[in-house]
Amino acid sequence: MPEVRARRVYEEVTPSDGRRVLVDRLWPRGLSKDRAHLDEWLKAVAPSDELRRWYGHDPAKFAEFTRRYQAELTEPERSEALRHLRDEANSGAVTLLTATKDLEHSEAEVLVRQLRSA
């Protein structure tokens, strides 16, 4: 199983992070690019603005958000970005980063599940 995890982008870098990929569409507030220590910002894999606004990080909507987001991940650009993440994960540890406070109900968690089940 690929070594993939989700973490908040504001947390300190750890040696076990491996490749650090920001999966949010918007840049995290108050964070400098130097402090983020990113290897890549993969906006193409993020949920659409419409879906992100509809969800509003409401845990009660997470199951439906997951279903809709997984459908979006089949679109060509997002599918290619997901394939890229899968390739990275098959090459070594990958940490998917998000600014979201609730990691358990985030797009990063949906992506972790997708990548681990591949």
| For range 4-30, the mean pLDDT | 96
Mean pLDDT computed over 75-81: 97
State the average pLDDT over residues 4-24: 96
Q: What's residue 94's pLDDT?
A: 97
The stretch 89-115 carries a mean pLDDT of: 96
Among the listed ranges 22-26, 37-41, 113-117, which one has the minimum average pLDDT value? 113-117
Number of domains in the chain: 1
Q: What's the mean pLDDT in 56-64?
A: 96
pTM of the model: 0.94
Domain that holds residue 43: 4-116
Give the whole-angstrom CA distance, residue 48 versus residue 72: 8
pLDDT of res. 2: 78
